[in-house]
A = this chain, B = another copy of it.
Amino acid sequence: MSGSSVDYTLYLVTDPYNPSAHDRYFHKVADALRGGVTLLQLREKKASSKQLFELAGQLKDMAASYQVPLIINDRVDIALAVDADGVHVGQDDLPAGVVRGLIGPDKILGVSASTVEEAVQAEKDGADYLGVGAVFPTRSKADATSVSIETLGAIRQTVRIPIVAIGGIDEANVETLYPAGIDGIAVISAILSQKDVLGAAKALREKAETFRKKQR
């Protein structure tokens, strides 16, 4: 799976895993996939490596059954161990160029960027796509740097690789992002914190498709 054939329309990032709600965690992800998520990222900062390995293996099988690629946040070793489709790194993770060397040319490499400089560097280092945010205030990542729509647009003008907007995106505010020229949106709460996960995923997928078509 190479970066260029990936559908970035609706990118789901997992919320923290809680072993005592194991079934619920997987049911929610399954509902989100059924609802139309096009890309899945395992982002898990507190689990042991063993837990991460097991989670990643299960999510990989589940995502594969929906033909959705699985990306692992930060942990290149876990991605290699389960043969995930790619890795996403932030500015506090392994340098993107080092990651590209470890995963080879074919796996998807995503990089978080909140400035034009970071975006340019990431593209140079071999990123397949950028995660740009936080475009709105978010509780899922309290320390995230905020990125204005102007910066989002400036990044779009500067790099050629796909851009996924992230951070506090929901059904109500998603439309405002498309004029900047984004390829997709990444969400956690807007899907996984909703009572009707399947319905939330469907609605966001539809909006994301519609707004992206309008922008073209």
Query: A184 to nearest B CB, angstroms?
Result: 25
Asked if A50 lies at the interface with its beta carbon under 8 angstroms from chain B, I say: yes
Task: State the copy count for this chain.
Answer: 2
Segment of A2-10, A12-20, A88-96 engaged in the interface with chain B? A88-96
How distant is A68 from chain B, measured CB to nearest CB, in Å?
Answer: 24
In whole angstroms, what is the CA distance A50 to B95 when docked?
Answer: 7
Residues of chain A touching chain B, judged by Cβ–Cβ distance below 8 Å, are 48-51, 53, 74-78, 80-81, 89, 91-95, 98, 102
Give the distance in Å from the alpha carbon of A101 to the alpha carbon of B80 in the complex.
Answer: 10
Cβ-closest chain B residue relative to A48: B92
**Contact partners of A98 in chain B: CB under 8 A:** 53, 81
User: In the assembled complex, how far is the CB of residue A19 from the closest CB belonging to chain B, in whole angstroms?
Assistant: 13
Residues of B within 8 Å of A91, CB to CB, are: 50
